Amino acid sequence: MGKKKTLTLLSSALALTMLLTGCSDSEEAGEASGAAEKEIKFMHLWPEGSSKKHFDVVNEIIAEYEAENEGVSVDLEVLSNEQYKDKLRVLSTSGDLPDVGLTWAAGFLEPYVGGNMFAPLDDVIEEDLSDAFVSGTTEAYAMDGSTYGLPLELNIVSLYYNKAMFEEQGITPPETYEELETAVKEFNDAGIQPIALGNRDSWTGSMWYMYLADRIGGADVLNKAIDRSGSFEDPALVEAAAKTQELVDMGAFVNGFNGLADEEAKSMFMSGQAPMYLIATWDLPNFTTNESVPQEFRDSIGYLNFPTVEGQGDMSSFVGGPGVGLFVAEESEVKEEAKDFASYFVKAWGEEAVTKAGVIPATKVDAASLDLPEMYVDILNELNGATNITLFADVQMSPDVAQVHLDSIQALFGNQITPEEFAKNHEEALSKE
């Protein structure tokens, strides 16, 4: 009797297996029967919960595209940022990438292009999008003469500050490094931690170092060090590292910044605990349109271009660069349709994204014709007048070197290494390439 029972149990488990696999089989058969239907798999990282506006814009574009292109449907998968990266990683190993997806520029793209995972999109750009992008943005997705990504976002980094807190203490917003020093000192004297920084995600600290390097040594010195026509031992770069530590030593940044996530630092800025915060334009909605942030706070926020250092530096030179862009999988079975969709998406994205989701797109938009908050208009003007945009160092570098850079940034900010050692770490990592 006991035996019978076990057998029943096992066979029911087996039946369940067959039921489950059977289910998926029949589904596939269903797909195959509608053979005329072409399906484009599209993976993005704006989940409905956290990025409702992005999510909606994407869905609208897809709906319009499907309406205009009979017989083509877009199958969507949405993941959160980190999970998206990990999943793309796993999928690429098995050669199972979605037909269209999002990629980051330069260093992130490199292994995928090296492994022939992404399709070159030069034809799409030449035919459909020849004059669509802000100059310099597609270059970040180019390797060996071909472009592999269609940029969707463009971010530049500015120093946001709390006007109310500055006024209350009678401190002038800093336009030079010397004024920044004074402001830091005065806020500290008033018992206020001056600058919010979450350097656990060390790309935040990297932006400070990059700006100091830009102001001290000019727009090219860091790029040259990374592309190996220069060196991290360049006096200007060592000086930038030294200035970074100078800021740390004078107590410019909030307590324990090396253990804080960017998000925690941001909250300190947004709750009026720290008056300054260096961040990119992706946070603009928080300072302008985001209804869940108190109006009073949004009204008191201003931005400054990064200060000059000892009279040097061009305040119209920025750190920033395109964020995510679209790729088309080289192995895609519907590659032509995928390219067509990607091109359609980029064209539709620009205005929709800036007006509805507050994203500054990498495609040209006519700011004057759109109804945008003042700060957007100002920033878009800054962008138009930008003399240079230096791409985020950790994005420029290959993944291995980026890791060394980020670790060294933490060590530099933590006073664990000297500016000279900081330079040496980079030189060693880059020379291994």
Partner 1 sequence: MNGMNKVMSNKFYIAFYIAPALLLLLILVFIPLVLSGYYGLMDWDGIGEKTFIGLENYITGIQDKLFWNSAFHSFLLAIFSTLSLVIYLTVSFILASKIKGADLLRKIYLIPMLLSSVAIAQLWVKIYNPSNGILNVFLMSIGVENPPLWLANPSIVLFAIFVPILWQYAGFYILIYYAALKNIPESLIEAARIDGASAFQIATRIKLPLIKEVVSVTIVLAIVGSLKYFDLIYVMTAGGPNGASEVMASYMYKLAFSNYNFGYGSAIGFLLLIITLIVTLIVRKLTETKDKLEY
Partner 2 sequence: MGRIGYFFLYLALIIVGLFQILPLIWLFLFSLKDNNEIFAGSPFALPSEFRWENYAKVWDGGIGTYFFNSVWITILAIILTVLFASMAAFAITRLKWKLSGLVLGLFMVGLMIPIHSALIPLYSMFLSVDMIDNPFSIVITYTAYNLPITLMILLGFYYTLPHEIEEAAVIDGCSIHRMFFRIILPMTTPILATTVVINMIYNWNEFVFVNTFISSEKYKTLTVGIQNFIGQYMTDWGAIGATLVISVLPIIVAFIFFSNKVVEGISSSAVKG
Residues at the interface with partner 1 (CB under 8 A): 85-86, 89, 92-93, 111-112, 114-117, 193, 199-202, 254-261, 264, 268, 273, 399-400, 403, 407-408, 410-411, 414, 416
Residue number with CB closer to partner 1 (22 or 115): 115
Element (H, E) at 22: helix 2-33
Contact 415, 248 (CB under 8 A): yes
* Residues facing 327 on adjacent strands: 101
403 binds, among partner 2, partner 1, none (CB under 5 to 8 A by kind): partner 1
Contact 383, 154 (CB under 8 A): yes
- Of the candidates 209, 242, 224, which has an alpha carbon nearest to the alpha carbon of residue 420? 242
106: CB partners within 8 A, 6+ apart: 140, 141, 391, 395, 396, 397
Task: Count other C-beta atoms under 10 Å from residue 11's C-beta.
Answer: 10
251 binds, among partner 2, partner 1, none (CB under 5 to 8 A by kind): none
d(CA 373, CA 431): 46
Site string for partner 2, 10-39 (x = CB under 8 A): ---x--xx--xx--x---------------
Site string for partner 2, 291-330 (x = CB under 8 A): -xx-----------------------------xx------
Q: Tell the smallest beta-carbon distance from residue 411 to partner 1 (Å).
A: 4
Among 66, 91, 176, 251, binds partner 2 (CB under 8 A): 91
Site string for partner 2, 64-83 (x = CB under 8 A): -------------xxxxxxx
Q: Is 182 exposed, middle or buried (0-12, 13-18, 19+ CB in 10 A)?
A: middle
191 binds partner 2 (CB under 8 A): no
Helices (H), 262-398: 262-270, 284-287, 295-299, 335-352, 374-384, 393-396
Task: Count other C-beta atoms under 10 Å from residue 415's C-beta.
Answer: 11
254 binds, among partner 1, partner 2, none (CB under 5 to 8 A by kind): partner 1
Q: Which residues bind partner 2 (CB under 8 A)?
A: 1-3, 5-6, 9, 13, 16-17, 20-21, 24, 45-51, 54, 77-83, 86-87, 89-91, 93-94, 96, 263-264, 266-268, 270-271, 273, 282-283, 286, 292-293, 323-324
